[in-house]
Amino acid sequence: MRLREKPAGPAARVKIRFSWLITLFAAIAGAIYGAEAVTHAHQKGLAATLADWAVHHGLVSAASAQAYESALDFNIHRLLPGLAISVLFSLYWVVASKNRADDVAPEAPASSSLHQLLAGVSLLLICLPMPGLTQRLLPSSALMLWVGLSLELGGVVLAVAARRALGRNWSREVRLAVGHELVRSGPYRHLRHPIYTGALCISLGLAIASGLVSAFAGLALLILAYIRKIALEERLLADAFGPAFQQYRSTSWALIPFLV
């Protein structure tokens, strides 16, 4: 007696196609990265930076898709819009990071590495269902998906506007730049750290779309990372700008208007 094979559903077909697409994307990016490393051994150019970004996000996206599909029987289609927004935002950030002034007072490498480690673990928790943290805090509904996407888009708009207002003063690390200014225009008129607010909104949106305990644990870790970074940054700005920063601090909020 011959058993009939169960045909693969649409979700399974999409999963395979999506995984192959991401794998090919990461392989091409890896080839570009290798070529750039050989030809520019002493200077990491834009091509290498973009390739590094591509490999990172390609592999994380592929792992996320397969983990949700296999471990939770979770339809990855729910997270694809949010992941796409996050990836495009990250690409913009990589390109924009080339426009920055030289350092005067750079952050200690250990401190910067600690923040990147916390942010990286946070990203993994938000994107991947971790064992023991796969319970649902929010229902898997269209409403939660749209709320998450709306928050994420709002965070992107805020972060981009703040990045443009900072100009060459921006840096991933806590530091003072050559000719550093105390920016109080755009989103900085009311918020002292609008980029961090935007980043937290993006992560909150992804966590809501996911709905899992692991995603909210990642969000909580990212909040702790930014609380630490804000304390370091405000201490540095207070030393550099003195009364001007204290006056600015008394008339603005750190992250959320009327709350924090």
pLDDT per position in the chain (260 positions), as tens? 444 444 444 444 444 444 455 455 455 555 554 554 444 444 455 555 555 555 555 555 555 555 555 555 555 566 777 777 877 887 788 777 777 777 667 778 888 888 888 888 888 888 777 777 878 888 888 899 899 999 999 999 999 999 999 888 887 778 777 678 888 989 999 999 999 999 999 999 989 988 889 899 999 999 999 999 999 999 988 988 889 989 999 999 999 888 87
Beta strand spans in 54-209 (E): 103-105, 176-177
Query: Cβ(73)–Cβ(84) under 8 Å?
Result: no
pLDDT for the residue 1:
43
pLDDT for the residue 174:
80
Amino acid at 157: V
User: Which alpha helices (H) appear in 132-257, and where do they start and end?
Assistant: 142-166, 194-210, 213-241, 243-250
pLDDT for the residue 10:
44
Residue 48 in tokens: 């290498």
pLDDT for the residue 81:
77
Among the CATH numbers 3.20.20.140, 1.10.3720.10, 1.20.120.1630, 3.90.226.10, which is that of 79-260?
A: 1.20.120.1630
Amino acid at 229: K
Neighbouring residues of 46: CB distance < 8 A, sequence distance ≥ 6: 95, 98
Q: Give the C-alpha separation, 260 to 252, whole Å.
A: 9
pLDDT for the residue 31:
53
pLDDT for the residue 100:
73
What predicted TM-score, i.e. pTM, was given to this entire model?
Answer: 0.72
Q: Give the C-alpha separation, 12 to 17, whole Å.
A: 9
Q: Give the C-alpha separation, 88 to 159, whole Å.
A: 13
C-alpha 185 chain-centroid distance: 24
pLDDT for the residue 43:
46
Residue boundaries of the structural domains of the chain:
1-75, 79-260
With CA atoms as reference, report the closest residue to 221 among 209, 195, 203, 201.
203
Residue 151 in tokens: 């928050």
With CA atoms as reference, report the closest residue to 18 among 73, 83, 71, 72.
83
